[in-house]
Structure 1
Amino acid sequence: MRARIYQPAKTAMSSGQAKTKTWVLEYVNDTGREVDPLMGWTSSADTQAQVKISFESKEAALDYAKDHGIDATVTEPKKRKPVIRQGGYGENFATNRRGVWTH
């Protein structure tokens, strides 16, 4: 069995970093997906592809994969740089603005 270990990215609907601290072991689908001729649904006979296991650290995920004989590849996360402005969010409402504030 093959799997990949990664740290999930933040969702596009949020600006926070919630649910990005854990590491996930996800099995890779060994068989291709098929389209059901009657309903048109996409399905697969490989049920392991639906399994996602969360871990506190990358080392814990690697230990689990080693103990269970899983061939795992690790994808390192790409960290984003923090966006820190001089005045922060309060700068939008500053009373000592030099110019006229318009949209």
Structure 2
Amino acid sequence: MTARIYRPSKTATQSGRAKSKRWVLEFPPEFAPQIDSLMGWTGTQDMRRQVRLWFGTQEEAVAYAEKNGIVFLLEEPKPATRKIQSYSDNFKPTRLGQWTH
């Protein structure tokens, strides 16, 4: 089973970058989830799916996977593209789009 090493992106609902600086090693699901016929709860027999290991750097995560013989797929983070714009730019006469309220 191939593990995935990646750095998670920041959440869309928060402006902070709390968990986006660490690296994660996690396993993909091995079995499909099963629905309990009595209660309707979803369960699984896959215990590896619950394992999520956090590392401070990419090198630590790769070293751990190699030391323990875990086959892994390394996903590099994509650089964030930011467009710096001030609030007053919304009211410029050279604005491309229509101004609506």
Give me the TM-score of the superposition, normalised by structure 1: 0.77
* Distance of aligned partners of 1:65 and 1:84 in 2 relative to their CA distance in 1, 3 Å threshold: same
Q: Give the corresponding residue for 1:80.
A: 80
State how many pairs are aligned: 94
Partner letter of residue 74 of structure 2? V
Instruction: Determine helix, strand or coil for the equivalent of 1:19.
Output: helix
Distance 2:16 2:32 in 1: 35
The gaps in structure 2 that reach 5 residues or longer are: 94-99
Identity %: 44
Give runs of ≥4 in structure 1 deviating > 2 Å: 15-18
Matched, 1:67 2:89: no
Distance 2:3 2:47 in 1: 13
Written as runs of structure 1 = structure 2, the 5 A alignment for 1:1-103 is 1-85=1-85, 88=86, 91=88, 103=101
Give the Å deviation of 1:42.
1.3
Give me the TM-score of the superposition, normalised by structure 2: 0.78
Distance 1:35 1:42 in 2: 5
* Distance of aligned partners of 1:32 and 1:98 in 2 relative to their CA distance in 1, 3 Å threshold: closer
Give the Å deviation of 1:19.
1.5
Give the Å deviation of 1:51.
0.9
The gaps in structure 1 that reach 5 residues or longer are: none
Any idea what the Cα deviations from partners look like across 1:41-88, whole Å, max 9, x if unmatched?
111111110111111111111110111111111112222112312xx3
Could you say what the CA RMSD is over the residues aligned between the two structures, in angstroms? Answer: 2.2
